[in-house]
Amino acid sequence: MNENAYRARAERGEVQIGTWVTMIRTPAVLTLLQAAGLDFVRVDMEHSAFSMETVADMATLARALDFPMVVRPPEGNREWVTRLLDAGVWNLHIPQVDTPEQAAAVAACSRYAPLGERGMYGFGPHTQYRTSPPGEHMSSANARVHVTAMLETKKAFERVDEIASVPGIDALTIGPTDLAQDLGVLGTPAQKDALRDYRVRLAEAARKHGKAVSMAIDSVEGVREMIALGATIVNYSSDTAVLRSGYAAAIEEIRRPAAKR
């Protein structure tokens, strides 16, 4: 089985750029995004209509293409973590992690013993339907999985250092809109500066404990800012945002009177 290129690049500290997929449910979109030069794709199950079956099909193609796919489940509990891992998803982006206890529970159900308590399930997508000695499978699966914790509330940042120290959490990120809402600055002039301060705090805690920094941003200039801040995993925009802005710009140009062009 191929190594997890997403995890391998993160461990080497290489910058990798991906995008959210929130609407396009055909697995073939992965071939397009890979051809466009992206390093990974992040599928959103928390705020989108993706079913478990669709995500499982996308994970199969992602592995075949050697194009890393990250999935954000609706919730970071044992049920969702187990189902996604057993469907062959290697990279998890866990929302609403507020405490180190939550982070530790996610890490535990993401890894087999002795690193955790992930449930055992014979062979399936997670083993490419191959069989191997249990010890060998458990060791390779533990080394392959990558877990990112999303800090999205002021409460989470009260214990950011403890969350960052949890073994089995590989990267940290913020949920910028939910965090801004929780801080009471969403949609205000104070939002940008407030989020920057919290991004800096997260990056410092991540570096202190040897974790990767992941950030999501909607502009090219913002991507550069996140990299300068220390992020090596950067999610640029989304399928819906890029499609909408691209078509909107083209239609505006098409409909502009010829004399004004």
CA distances from 125 to 52, 57, 128, 135, 261 (A): 13, 10, 5, 18, 54
The identity of residue 122, as a single letter, is G
Where along the chain do its domains lie?
5-260
Amino acid 123: pLDDT: 85
pLDDT in tens, 154-207: 999 999 999 999 999 999 999 999 999 999 999 999 999 999 999 999 999 999
Amino acid 121: pLDDT: 86
Q: Quick check: bond before 176 cis, omega within 30?
A: no
Amino acid 2: pLDDT: 82
Q: Quick one: three-class SS letters along 128-178? A: CCCCCCHHHHHHHHHHHCEEEEEECCHHHHCCHHHHHCCCCCCEEEECHHH
- Neighbouring residues of 62: CB distance < 8 A, sequence distance ≥ 6: 30, 41, 68, 69
The identity of residue 231, as a single letter, is A
| Under 8 Å between Cβ of 237 and 38 | no
| Under 8 Å between Cβ of 110 and 167 | no
Number of H helices, E strands in the chain: 12, 8
The Cα 103–Cα 106 span in angstroms is: 5
CB atoms within 10 A of CB 188: 11
Length of the chain measured in residues = 261
Phi, psi of 152 (to 5 degrees): -130, 10
Amino acid 261: pLDDT: 63
The Cα 126–Cα 89 span in angstroms is: 7
Amino acid 95: pLDDT: 98
Q: What residues of the chain score a pLDDT lower than 70?
A: 259, 261
Give the global pTM: 0.95
pLDDT in tens, 38-51: 999 999 999 999 99
Tokens of 93: 């982006």
| Under 8 Å between Cβ of 224 and 5 | no
Amino acid 258: pLDDT: 72
Tokens of 179: 């965090």
Phi, psi of 21 (to 5 degrees): -115, 115
The CATH H-level (homologous superfamily) assignment of domain 5-260 is Phosphoenolpyruvate-binding domains (3.20.20.60)
